Structure formats: C-alpha cells, structure tokens
A and B are shown apart, each in its own frame.
Chain A
Amino acid sequence: MRLVLEKRERRLKRMSLLIPLFSFILSLLIGAIVLAASKADPIQAYVAMAKGAFGNARRFQYTLVEALPLLICGLSVGIAFRLRFWNIGAEGQFVWGAIGVTWVIQFWTFLPDPLLLPAGILVGMIAGALWAGIPGVLKAYWAVDETLTTLMLNYVAIGVAEYLYIKAWKAPKGILGTPEFPEFTQLSQVWGKVHSGVFIALALVVVLWFLLYKTTWGFELNMIGKNPVAARYQGVSIEKSIVIALLISGAIAGLAGSLNTVAITHRLTRGVNAGYGFTGIIIAWMSNLNPFASIIVAIVMASLTTGADALQIAMKLPESMGAVLQGLVLIPLLAGSVFHDYHLKLIREEE
C-alpha cells in the first residue's frame, strides 16, 4: 500500500471552507503537543485563550480593536495581490499614515478644529498612497521587482518615524514620542474600547467589494492578475492599472495607520510599526483576496494575539508561547492550500 497525492480534476467549492477548518483543528492539535511539552494542560490553555479573546464584552472589544488595523491592512494588500503585485510594504505605508496624521494635527493649527481630524486622516492616506506609488511606478514602467522595493521602503519609513518621535517632533518633556493629540482630534468610541473606525472599515469592505467585483476596473484587475498578456491584447493598460491599484492599496494602509494613531495611541511614538502591515499579507492570502472573508480572518488572527496575552497571565507561560501558537496556526493553514488542487489517496497494490 502506498499513499499518493492525486491531482483533483477540479476545485471544489466546499473545500474552500473545509480545508481551513481542518487545518485549524490540526494546528490546535499540534499546539496541544507543544503546550503539553512545556507542562501546561492544553485544554486549560485553550480555554484560557478563548476566554481571553471572547470571554466577556471587554475582552471581545479588545479583540475587535486589534482586528481593525489587521482587516484594513489585509484589504490594502489584497488589492495589490489581485494584480500579482507582491506588495509587502503595507507596514511602511501604515507608518506613513501615522506620520501624515500626526503632522496635520500638530502643525496645521490654522485649520478650524473640526476639520483637523478629517484632514489628518486624508493626509495620512495620501502619504501612504505616495509611499506605495513609488514601487508601483518603478514596477510598471521599469519592471523593477516589487518584493524588494516594497520591503526596503518599510525600513526607510520606520527610520523616518523614529527620527520624528525620538528627535524632531519629540514632546519637550515626558515619555518618548510626540505630544498627545488634543481631545477633539481623537476618534470617538462607540462600544467600550471599540472606536468609530469600525464603521469606516466596514464601509471600506463594501466599497472594495463593489469596486473589485462590479466595476469595469475590477474586471480589468482580474484580467491582468490572471493573464497580463491577454489583458494587453484587449486594450487594457497594465501600467496604469498597477499604479492606480498601488495608490489605492497604499492609501488604505495609510488609513489603517492614521486611524490607529487617532484612536489608540493619540500620538506618534514607539510601536507605530507593530507588524499590522505584515500580518495583513497573511490576511489577504487566507481570505483568498475576498474583502468579506477578510473580516472573519482578521478577527481570528486578532483573537490569537489577545488570547495569547491572556494565556500568559492565566497560565504563567512565557510570553513567546503566544507567538509560537500563532505561528503554529499559520503553517497548516498555508500548507493546507495544496489540498485545493490535490487530494490524498491510499492505493492498494494489486497483482
């Protein structure tokens, strides 16, 4: 008898649901082994994590707050990925969003108070858009590889932010970072910790879904992503679409950065590059670039973070255990995608 991977003759719809589900269960099992090895009761640990993420209203609010920037970054990355443009620069574009909003709120004092917040968010989005536009233009017109440019630009963005909050814009006294924003520029809270950014994010999901699935431009993105040569023969300008898609992608990542700044940190400070942009890549990938699916994926990913915090406190496990468990979830999920196209088959050798 032997076990072989056989190619499926077609992709099955229900598999797109079953495979992630099985992968998730599998990763819980692997995680259980790791937990048991570090002398923790796996069931107890998972209960603690679930409680930590969803246990009560306050915990759930934390999870949602964490999910918001992940969702928005996932949407950002997803647009570029539709074109097979591997934008791994959402992190840097997120940081530029935070810088942009901080700049406006700190220095555009000539604006009437109520305009400061919307102007800040807008400038944050523009900053993110421009930052993504650079690799977009480089790729579209000079065929410069985007994985490298987007990745490197992240470190430039983080460097600029550090310079600003450590030196140039540092508050005269007190902790590291810029002075705290005035109250009227902070995003209001709608349910406990959950801020009104949630409405912006949900609106964005709907708008993007419409843009990608209902408009002529979405149709073109689909063509370019799946066969750029054929798209060109149909008169689609690939260069233009890449640049526009990157501007939008960057603007959305910038939106995530500016929202997080006006809603959570209320200043530009250490931790602005919290990795949301990088996790966004995973979210875009796992949601199969579908905006609605991104909501669920973002909540699951956020619950791993908030759950792991609780794990640390409740079970006295080292801090790194949370990260280990998060990583463990990803491996089966990503590896599982092979089963969309293949299935395992047990073959009895016949005489």
Chain B
Amino acid sequence: METRERIPVVSMQHITKHFPGVLANDDVSLELYAGEVLALLGENGAGKSTLMNMLVGLYRPDSGSISIRGEVQHIRSPQDSMALGIGMVHQEFMLVGNMSVLENIILGLKDLPVVPDVATIRKKITELSDTYGLQVDPDAIIHNLSVGEQQRVEILKLVYRGAEILILDEPTAVLTPGESRDLNRIIKKMLSQGKSAIFITHKMDEVIEFSHKVQVLRRGKSVNVIDTASVTPRDLANMMVGRDVLFTLDRCAFNPGEPRLRLSHVSVENPLGSRPYLNDISLSIRRGEILGIAGVAGNGQTQLTEVITGLLKASEGSIEIDGKNVTKCTPLQIIQTGVSHIPADRGAMGVVGDMSVGDNLAMKKYRTHELSTGPVVKRSRLRLFADKLIQSFIIKTPNQDTAVKFLSGGNIQKTILAREIDSCGGILIAVYPSRGLDVGATEAVRQNLIAQRDAGSAVLLVSEELDELQMVADTIAVLFEGRIMGIRKVSETNTEELGMMMAGVGGDA
C-alpha cells in the first residue's frame, strides 16, 4: 500500500437510479483503484447490473456523478465508455448470432473504415488470442460456438478495443467448472498487465480467490465495502441476504416408489458430427427420487432433456412415462403427462422477454381450465394466479405487467422456476436451475427440488457442480460423450469416482 492518496480509476459518487416502480440504485458510491479487482455482490435484483450499465452508458443516473481517472465524465453511450477504456461483458451476451467472430469484434468500432482491412484485423485478433490464451476461430459463426467460446469472444472484443477497466457481469454463471478455470486464468493474466476489474458473481469462492475488495449491495443500497482478506464465504452470504444462509438441506429418507420415467436404449443421431448425441442411454427415475446427471457440458445433457420432453426425436430406443410409450409424442402431449422442464438457456428457451411476467407465468397453464374456459383466456383468473406465484416464489418485479426482460437475471430464472414447479405433474426436468441465482435463492431452489421429491415427484437434475448434485440428488448418472458411464447412489460414491467417470475413465461402460 502506498501512503500518499491514490486517485481511483473509477469513482461513482451518490448514484441514484429509478425505473418505473423500482428504486434500482439508492445513493450508491463505488471506487475502483488501478490494478485492483472489486467484487460486487448482492441478491438478485439488488441493482448490480444497473450500476454497471450506467458506467458503460447504457443507462444514465438520475443523480450522482461518475469520474474516470479523476475527471468527471458524462457517459452517454457504450462508445463514450469505450473511448475511456471501459469495457463490459454483459450478463446476457450481446453478440450477433449469424455473424462471424471477426465481424462481431469490429462491429460498432467508431473509427472503422468503410472497407475494413480484414487481413490486419484477423492478424491482430490472432495475436491477442495468443497473448491471453483466448482460442477462437475468427471466422466461426457465433451461433455455432459453445457458451464458453462466446464468452471468449466477448472478452476478445474488450481487449481488441483496448479496454483498461473491465466489467464482468456474472461471467462464470454460464460456464462449466473447466471453462470457469480458464476464464479465471485469463482474467489473472489481464490483471497482471495493469488492468483493473469489477467482477459481479454469486460464487463466493471466486470472490475469495480473485478480488482485493468486496462491495455488497442490498436492495439498491451499498451496505458494505471490505477487504476480501478479512472475510469468509459465510460472512459474505450473511451480508448479502441479511440473515444466515443454510448450506445443508433437510430431506426425508430415500424411499423410492415405482418408476415414472424410463429410457431404454435411447440414441439420438448427430447429423453434423461423428459421434451420436446420445448413445444407448438406459435409465429410470422413480417416484420420490432425484436423479442427478453429472458431466461436462456438451456431453449430451441438452439432448437428453430434449429427447425426454419431446423436442428432439430419438433415432432408436424407447421412452416410457408411467409405463406408456411416449417416444413419438409431441412436446405438448409430454407436458400433459405431467412433465415440467426448466431449460438451460433462460433468455432463449425459458421466457418470452417482451411478454409480461404474468403471461410468462401462465405459459404452461393458459390452456387448462385453471386459467381459461374453452378457448377463452380468463384474464381475471390469470392475474390472481400470477400474483400468487410472484408472492410465493418471491419474484422481484414492480408488478405482473412488467415485461420479463426488465427483470434482473436471477428474477427471470425465478419466473421460470415458479411456472414449472407450479405446473409440475410429477416429473420435473431441471437443467442448471440455480444458474445465476444468489445464495439465498439457490438454497430456495434446492429446497424446492427436494420438496418435489418428498411429495413423490421424479426429478431429473442436470448440473455441472458435483457439490450441488451430491447435496441434492439421490442417485447420480455420469454422461460422457453421449454415453452413461455409470449410475451410482450418492451415498455409495465419492467425488473422485464421479470425477474420473466425467473424464471418461472407469465406470461400468
């Protein structure tokens, strides 16, 4: 520590920001010093993304001031912030899906000539990706890339533009543990070159590992700024939520009933690749059982859930629900047998962003007589229903007429959870359900899954976090390259064995 007064690279003073019906930031001040990482923590909807969006010019504060390197700045657009060397990786990626990596990187550059010199740009991109270990093919089309690769493009975009101040909004929420480790390595590299960063995350171990300081927001207000060295994960969770968070869960003894869902020798061809998406999958889930699916993303998890929910057709094998063959059923028919589905990508698959929270909550039940009479949707009933779910799942929204896209990331996830758990008829397929949720909400989700199980549902839980699976599931199946490496009772296996199978070693296959 230097003794003389240092000037912060970023200083936000007394920032207040209203949205219709919400006070998103209430007199928040924040300071970031050169070469430092500031972790920004807070519950879902606490106002973290909003605060950062003001720093990059997407929103403007109602009051308060922003200084960069000691000078007051009026940041009105992302271009302005870029000119000041500030770059942000957003919670929901902002890439253009049908354009190439290279095009995405140069898109929106201010001084781009009419005919860009593609060869030079490509060379610069390759150099930068070598420097930082950000391997991506500049000519690949975005929607062919995995989430982890898209993340790398977002970061490349920042370094290409020469950002010195990085804002990372839950960068690891959508990544596999392996990808997260890569990302963390990249970030450390950038810090070693004198860049500074503000890092938003819900993962306490990342906070401890990376940051120099932690700032906690609660309901729009800044409640604490402390040195990371002086806190434990438990303290942090407590500061965020304002109460103690349980890290263990209560559950009834494992006492499974008859099988509800059974897959026999199911395979799904991959028209593009060499190995099939799914290869001879056999498994069953019983009443009162949570079957966890472990595995590194991209080993067939998505296809497994889609083939069960009827979105993808099996090329071989059969699927039975309650003893009835449903292999050829439509997604609607499957839903009607009582299957609920929390999909992996909430923005793209889980909600219709431009429709209201109320409508999104009704998207499973609008066709049942709970919410409609014949072909007519009963608005009054729908409103009551939506308000009930908003309350019982503690979704933070001004009211049910707000478009879902205006909710914080975690509250969008809660909207999906509320809809799917409420409409669940005994079979629940949950893919990364706690992704992007704060510690309190994660705890609530896990409790909900267990409550479903205790009530006799069959639950399929796809997760990349072994601790989550070991805490919540009764049985764990490990997927590797579209095959099941083995199925184990949680009580009869351990992290080492599961880890080996996830890498394709051992197991029964």
Contacts and interface: CB of A to CB of B under 8 A. Distances in A.
Given A229-B349, A236-B332, A237-B332, A223 B355 contact: yes
B353 A227 contact: yes
Contact of B348 (A7, A219, A230, A350): A230
B454 interface: no
Which of A10, A215, A216, A236 neighbours the largest number of chain B CB atoms within 10 Å of its CB?
A216
B375 A217 contact: yes
B20 interface: yes
A235 B359 CA distance: 15
B343 A216 contact: no
Interface in B19-35: 19-20
B355 A6 contact: no
A234 B363 contact: yes
A6 B351 contact: no
B335 interface: yes
Contact of B353 (A215, A226, A345): A226
A103 B359 CA distance: 46
Interface residues of A, number: 27
Nearest to A235: B332
B348 A229 contact: yes
B352 A232 contact: no
A217 B372 CA distance: 11
Contacts of A334: none
Given A9-B59, A223-B363, A229-B349, A350 B376 contact: no
A231 B352 contact: yes
Contacts of A233: 309, 311, 331, 341, 343, 349-350
B377 interface: yes
B330 A237 contact: yes
Interface residues of B, number: 38
B367 A216 contact: yes
Interface of A: 4, 6-7, 9-10, 214-219, 222-223, 226-227, 229-237, 345, 347, 350
B27 to A, nearest CB: 20
Nearest to B368: A216
Contacts of B58: 7
Given A214-B376, A234-B364, 5 more contacts: A4-B77, A9-B60, A10-B406, A233-B309, A234-B363
A215 B331 CA distance: 21
A206 to B, nearest CB: 14
Contacts, number: 79
B361 to A, nearest CB: 12
Contacts of B379: 214
B74 interface: yes
Contact of B355 (A214, A222, A345): A222
A218 B359 CA distance: 12
B258 interface: no
B366 interface: yes
Contacts of A229: 348-349
Interface in B389-406: 406
B331 A235 contact: yes
The 9 closest A-B CB pairs, nearest first, are A235-B332, A227-B352, A235-B335, A226-B354, A235-B331, A234-B363, A226-B352, A215-B375, A233-B349
Contacts of B362: 219
28 contacts: A4-B77, A6-B76, A7-B58, A9-B19, A9-B59, A214-B376, A215-B375, A215-B377, A216-B367, A216-B372, A216-B377, A218-B377, A219-B362, A219-B366, A222-B355, A223-B352, A223-B363, A226-B352, A227-B351, A230-B351, A231-B352, A233-B341, A234-B335, A234-B364, A235-B330, A235-B332, A237-B332, A345-B76
Contacts of B331: 232-233, 235
Contacts of A227: 348, 351-354
